[in-house]
Each structure stands twice: as C-alpha cells, then as structure tokens.
Amino acid sequence: MLRRKSPFAAAPAAAKQGEGEEAPARRPGAPLSLAGLLVSIFLVAIFLYNEDSAVVKAPIAALDAGAGASRARSAPDLHLLHEVNPRPQQQQREQGEEDEGRRHVEQVESRRKASDGDRVDAPARADKRAAPATTTTTTPPPSSSGGNTTTTTSSRAAVAAPEPAACNLYQGWWTYDAEASQVPLYREAECEFLTEQVTCMRNGRRDDSYQRWRWQPSSCDLPRFDARALLERLRNKRLMFVGDSLNRNQWESMVCLVSSAIPAREQRSLAKFVGPNGSLNVFRAAEYNATVEFYWAPFLVSSNSDDPQAHSVADRVIAWRSIAKHARHWRAADLLVFNTYIWWLNNFEMKVLKNPRAMPDKYTVVDRPVAYKEVLKTWAKWVDRHVDPGRTKVFFMGMSPNHGVPDAWGGGPGAIKCAMETQPILNHTGPLYVGTDWRLHGAAEAVLRSMRRVPVHLVDITALSEFRKDAHTSVHTLRQGKLLTPEQQADPRAYADCIHWCLPGLPDTWNHFLYAQIVAAPPPPAQAQTLMQSSSSL
C-alpha cells in the first residue's frame, strides 16, 4: 500500500537545504538505499502531476455543471469559454440565429437588387450627435415599397455585445406602404375635429404619398395601433398635451386616432379655448369618461406669449423660474405629454425677467441653450415635487425639426423651402443639417437624466423626423387664421409653412410611440379586470 506522507515529508527538507539551511543529521543505523530514493522521487512526481491536472480541469468541469468554482490562479474569461465550448441548447440557438440571419441577408440582397430607391436610413442620431456607446451589427434596412421586413443581429454580435434593456423604437427607417395597409391610421375626411391648418388635401394638396410612409424600428416592430385598447387605458383618465403649436398638432392627431373608435357622434365632443384664459382644449370620450386635452404653454414657464389666440409676439420674454401659473392646471392629469422648442428659435438669445413681480420690465439677455436648460430645470423640479409617479405617467417630446433650407438635402435648382416636396430624404449619406438646434436636445436629455423621483420618457422623434421634408403643410394651410389664397400659394418663399405637419401624417407616428409606451405599461390593478373583459370581446 502506497502512502503519500513520505514524499511530502522529504520535500520540505530538500527545499530548506536548497535555501542554504543545514539539513538534519540522518539517524545512525537507518541507511537510505539508492533504490528507495528513486522510488520516492517517482512517487512525488506522480502525485504532483495528478494534483496539477485536477487544478486545471476543475474550472471547466464546474462551468459545465453551472458551478461558480474559481481557479487558484487567474479566473477564466467566461465569455471566451462560452464561445469555445457552448452548451448544447445555446449551440442550437446560435446555429438557428445564424441560419435565420443568412436567409435574411439573402432576402435583403434580392430586394435591394429589385428596388434600391425607397429607403431612408434614420439612426436615432445623425453624424456626430449619436454614436452609441455600444452597437450591434445589423443588416442594413431593405428597400421596400410596403413590405414588413425586420432586421436581425448576427449571433456573434449578440454574444459580444450586451442585449439592450428594451427595443429602441427611434432607430430604424421609413418604408413606403403603397397599399395603405397600415398607414394612414385614419382618413382626413373622416375626422371632423381636424382644423384647416392641417387638412392639406382639403386645402389643395394633390398627392397623398406623405400619408403612406410607415416607421420601421430596426430591432423590433411597433405594436399595431388599436384605438379601442388605448381608450381602455384612458378610461376615467385625463391625457394632457402641454406646450406649443407642435404639441397642438400632435394633440389633433391623437383626437382623430381615438375618435376613430367612437362611431356614435353623441359619445364624443370637443370644447376649445376653455379653462384658464382659454388655454385649454378638451376632447371627451363619454363612454370611457376619458379626455384628451391640450394646454397652451409654449415655454412651459410664464412668458409674454401665453395668450392661446393672440401670441404672435416677436420680442419674446420669459420668466424662467415662474411655472406655478400654468402648472396648477396640469396636476390632476393622469398622463402628461410636454414639449417646448419651436418658440425658442426666434433669436439666438432669450430675454429673461430678473424679478417678474417686483420688476416686470427688467430683463437680462441669456444664450438660448442656457435659458432652455434653466427652464427645463424649473419644470423638472415641479414634476419631481408635485407628480405622483404611481398615478401619473410623464413624457417629454423631442424637437420637431423645420425644413426651410433645401441645400441640406440636395434640393434642385428651383427648390424653395419645403414647398412641392413629395418624398422623404432618401438614400442620404453623411450628416443632415436641416437647422435643428441639437444643443437644446442635449440639454433636455441632461435634465431628464438628472430626475430621480419621477421617471420621464423622452419620445425621441427628432432625428427620424428630420427625414420628413415631404410632410409639412407648406402652402396648403392657414395664415393668420385664413386659408392661403391661390396667389399666396404661388409664393412659397413668403408663405410656405415648413414647421407644422399635415394630418394624417408624421404626428400620427409620434402618437404611435406614445401608444406603445402607454399600452405596453402594466395597467393599474383597478383597470386590469376591465382590460381583460374588453380584450375578450374584441
């Protein structure tokens, strides 16, 4: 029987001797034979070999068994081990993803060869504004004239990069729905609540192609818009849009979207210029006891432009710490959608009241981005102090871009602002410079990140909307409350509106993003049973 005690007893003595220490004297009468010494060395070698093999193999065995054992030396890179020796299930899943990706690439290439002109690549940021911290390799969006095509990530990229927490709805491309199978979500002639400012077809526009461009996120699909499902989420609630005329543009879109699910006229109504100083417009869905409202506050804080009907003030002055006058009318809302942008573009500097109460005529001039950020800090402080995050959901809309400079998208020699544009910006490479002040976008992101108590979702519409030069009201709209005359329509340089949007149109997509956030969120317990009953009857 072999015993391992003698090799370990001999090893320390040899080590000490090698270090210059004197070895203990051998006991007389116990001679050590040469054969015994060789056997001892052999056993030591076998023992050390077995021990070293056990140390090397243990982490791999533990990994295969799902254990967290660590090596005596440096710990292995688990990502590399998964790459070298994947588990059977993972190997099958990756093989399936590779096959699917290969098929998808083949489909994309065939479609690209068939049609290479109806695509817009719209990253969530263009050029330097938005290089994401972590990217995954995606198949380029396909050319399409109405198909439902999605992109997939390669299996290697999926292993190397972390999976995103949720789908980024704002990265993707525009695809033309020739059959109008998914857009528009309602018809201009069927929505009685649209104002003449946005009814472009009624006002003389001849093409309706701007209504048929559908946004396709690159890593997922937008849920199909269901107006009844949205109304169920709004039952006994107030959805309020707060901001400027672009938010009013979006509010009109939302009114048409929800009213399309209420066929009975007596079950829907609209009251305009009611409430405080006529600042409130209210659409009511009687059956659901729900309202969709718009509150005029172009700067969110108090300003000399707060009159909802007579607000065309060239010399604009704001009180960047005064928000209570407006905000007390928002507190009871269940869903709040804020925006402020277009009214900031009149000047590079803003006039800010020093002390609105004591010195209403004394102001200081502040750079636009600085003033914008300070206003949003005032707004954010109010939201954190007065909004109950368990009851109220808050959104902040990104900047709605203008399209007044055709050189930005390579407009032809006779191009005048956005007039006569009938397609989005297609196949554009490189950065877009349509005039958006991205400094304000960055200020909004910074303020929203600083909010701790109330989560606010940024509906990041800016980059994807920059491609939609075709969707503005242009000369098919109002001017000072009156429809443009034929002579005025013939002078787009003076009269084209490249700020607001036709309806149906781009703001419907913005509301589709809101729909995805509202309907995808878990409902309050009181609504859960109602929603289940409603879905069973659909």
CB 186 within 8 A of CB 504: yes
Identity of residue 301 = V
Tokens of 461: 């519409």
CB 263 within 8 A of CB 359: no
CA angle 381, 383, 389 (to 5 degrees): 135
Active-site residue 500, yes or no? yes
Cα 239 to Cα 334: distance, rounded to the nearest angstrom: 6
Catalytic residue among 326, 441, 476, 500: 500
Cα 56 to Cα 482: distance, rounded to the nearest angstrom: 83
CB 379 within 8 A of CB 301: yes
CB 155 within 8 A of CB 102: no
Burial group, residue 73, by CB count within 10 angstroms (0-12, 13-18, 19+):
exposed
3-state helix, strand, coil in the chain (%, to 5): 40, 15, 45
What are the angstrom distances between the C-alpha of 309 and each of 26, 255, 273, 381?
A: 111, 20, 8, 29
CB 89 within 8 A of CB 147: no
Active-site residue 460, yes or no? no
The DSSP code sequence of 458-505 is EE--HHHHHT-TTSEEETSSEETTEEPPHHHHT-HHHH-EEEEE-SSS
| Run of H or E residues at 193 | none
Catalytic residue among 279, 497, 508, 512: 497
Instruction: Residue 452: name the closest of 524, 528, 357, 387 by CA.
Output: 387
Active-site residue 259, yes or no? no
Instruction: Residue 326: name the closest of 300, 304, 344 by CA.
Output: 300
Q: What are phi and psi of 512, to 5 degrees?
A: -65, -40
Task: Report DSSP state, residue 508.
Answer: H
Instruction: Residue 260: name the closest of 178, 181, 184 by CA.
Output: 184
51: Cβ contacts below 8 Å, ≥ 6 apart:
none
Cα 509 to Cα 227: distance, rounded to the nearest angstrom: 14
Catalytic residue among 245, 302, 400, 474: 245
Tokens of 429: 């490479």
Where in the sequence numbering do the catalytic residues fall?
245, 497, 500
